Amino acid sequence: MDFWSEHGIMFVIGLVLWPRMLLIYFGLIPAMSIPPILGLIFVPRMLLVSILTPAYWDTNSILISICWVLAVILDIIGIIFKFVAQAMMLKHLSE
C-alpha cells in the first residue's frame, strides 16, 4: 500500500497540525480502548506515527522517518509550551 496513492499533502499537513481531529475523524482510534485515548491526550503525533509506521514503512520509509522526527520534536515543544503556560498562569494568579 502506497501512502501517496491513498492521501495527499493536505492530509499530511492536517495530521501535523490537528492530529487529534484527524485520528477521531478517520476512525484510527478504536472505541473504548484506554492506551490510544491516553496517547491521544498526551502525545497525539507520536501515537499517530506509531499507527502509520506498520502500514507504510515498507513503501515510504523516508516519509515515516521524517514523520517520527517531526512527531518527537513537535510533541516535546507542545509539552514545554504547556508547562511554561501553566507556570505563567500560576505566577499570575499568586500575585
pTM: 0.62
Of the candidates 90, 45, 34, 38, the residue with the CA atom closest to the CA atom of residue 71: 45
Percent of the chain surpassing pLDDT 90: 4
Res 65: pLDDT: 92
Q: In the chain, count H helices and then E strands.
A: 6, 0
What residue has cell string 514545554?
Answer: 80
Question: pLDDT tens-digit profile of 65-76?
Answer: 998 998 889 888
Query: Is pLDDT at 33 greater than 80 in this prediction?
Result: no
